[in-house]
Amino acid sequence: MENALVSRPEKSTPGNGLLASLPDLDRARITKDCETIALVAGQVLAEPRGRMTHAWFPAGAVISLSVGHAGHGDNLEVALVGREGMVGLPLLLGGSVSEVLATVTSPGNALRIGAAALRAAMADSAPLAQRLQRYLLVALAQMAQSAVCTRHHRLDQRLARWLLVAGDRVLAGELHATHESLAARLGVRRAGVTRAANGLQQARLIAYRRGMLMLLDRKGLEAVACACYAADESSYRRLMRPRATA
């Protein structure tokens, strides 16, 4: 699944939106223990049953979370994480072992913090702990939605949903996405992805040239996508809004 999603580099890199939503003092509390790391496409941040020593807050990079069957090399993507979230959910629950494969699919920066420093920051900052716990709920809801999507929805709907999710997270307006990599992410055969992508291109919703994919009509893609995309957006807004208005 290496190089499945690559955005063109930007002159400036945004911060992580999850951390940016914190009050100033609480954001300073955690960022003082973070270091900025330039991630490259294909870099593995966590492996199934591997020990997690750090959490990652993307600030330009996009990271794929995937799971596989025991004894098989193929993995199915269950989430894409960009600047709206973090990688390292087990650390929020006191765990230290990853259950997913976390792979960088779009290069860019991320803020990295050690497990002990993250837990100390959460203990010192109630707003930080609450924010990260709420994001954990978001991530669980989105992974559950992905399972429903894989089981019940047509391939063209799932592909449109994936393109919208990816487009929300990359910095540039173009994606490098081969039919092989898309098929691996969606857990289907390449021929099926080719048919679905050709249909979206004929409808002028996307353009695909030399491995570069452009989203031409987001509203049109939203009309094709299954309801899972809207459900993901709704759960994020509902669960991540300020506690006082929840």
Q: What tokens were used for 169?
A: 């997270």
Q: What is the pLDDT of residue 212?
A: 80
Q: What is the pLDDT of residues 62-80, one digit of tens each?
A: 999 998 754 445 788 999 9
Q: What is the pLDDT of residues 194-204, one digit of tens each?
A: 999 999 999 99
Burial grade of 213 (CB within 10 A; 0-12, 13-18, 19 or more): buried
Concatenating the DSSP letter of every residue in 18-65 gives HHHTS-HHHHHHHHTT-EEEEE-TT-EEE-TTPBP-EEEEESS-EEEE
Domains located in the chain, CATH noted: 151-231 (1.10.10.10)
Lowest mean pLDDT among 3-12, 32-41, 44-53, 197-206: 3-12
Cα 42 to chain center, whole Å?
14
Q: What is the pLDDT of residues 170-201, one digit of tens each?
A: 866 677 788 888 888 888 999 999 999 999 99
Q: How confident is the model at residue 10 (pLDDT cuts 50, 70, 90)?
A: very low
Say which residue the tokens 């890199």 belong to. 13
The Cα–Cα gap between 189 and 23 comes to 46
The answer to whether the Cα torsion of 44, 186, 209, 172 is positive or negative is: negative
Dihedral of CA atoms 151, 64, 218, 132 in degrees, nearest 10, equals 100
